[in-house]
């Protein structure tokens, strides 16, 4: 799949299953709403006290499964990061275009 096809496919979906590992190595998965930037950055929000946040801060390896309609999925693996400053503001705007109510959840 070409990059532009992947971005198109990802943007057709709004939910992903994210997987991470707990400090003891046990698996953890959660459904998250996400957005994707033009640079193929996948953005989701979470509260700092969730298992996924705690897991990813300790071990940033992440896998996401996106899609399932029409029996088509994409699995993306990589490293999660926790942006700050201007990068955070840029990625929040990307997320808010898909989830405008995310602004209300900031508090």
pLDDT digits (tens, 9 = 90+) for 66-79: 998 888 999 999 99
Cα 85 from Cα 106, distance rounded (Å): 15
Q: Model's pTM, two decimal places?
A: 0.90
CB 46 within 8 Å of CB 52: yes
pLDDT digits (tens, 9 = 90+) for 73-101: 999 999 999 999 999 999 999 999 999 99
Token reading at 106: 């900031």
pLDDT digits (tens, 9 = 90+) for 3-60: 999 999 999 999 999 999 999 999 999 999 999 999 999 999 999 999 999 999 999 9
């Amino acid at each position: 799949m070409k990059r532009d096809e992947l971005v198109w496919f990802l943007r057709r979906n709004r939910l992903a299953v994210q997987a991470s590992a707990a400090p003891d190595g046990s698996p953890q998965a959660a459904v998250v709403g996400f957005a994707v930037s033009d640079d193929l950055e996948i953005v989701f929000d979470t509260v700092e006290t969730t298992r996924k946040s705690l897991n990813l801060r300790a071990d940033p390896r992440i896998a996401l499964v996106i899609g399932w309609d029409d029996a088509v999925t994409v699995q993306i693996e990589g490293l999660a990061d926790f942006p700050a400053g201007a990068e955070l503001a840029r990625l929040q705007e990307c997320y808010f275009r898909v989830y405008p109510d995310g602004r209300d959840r900031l508090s």
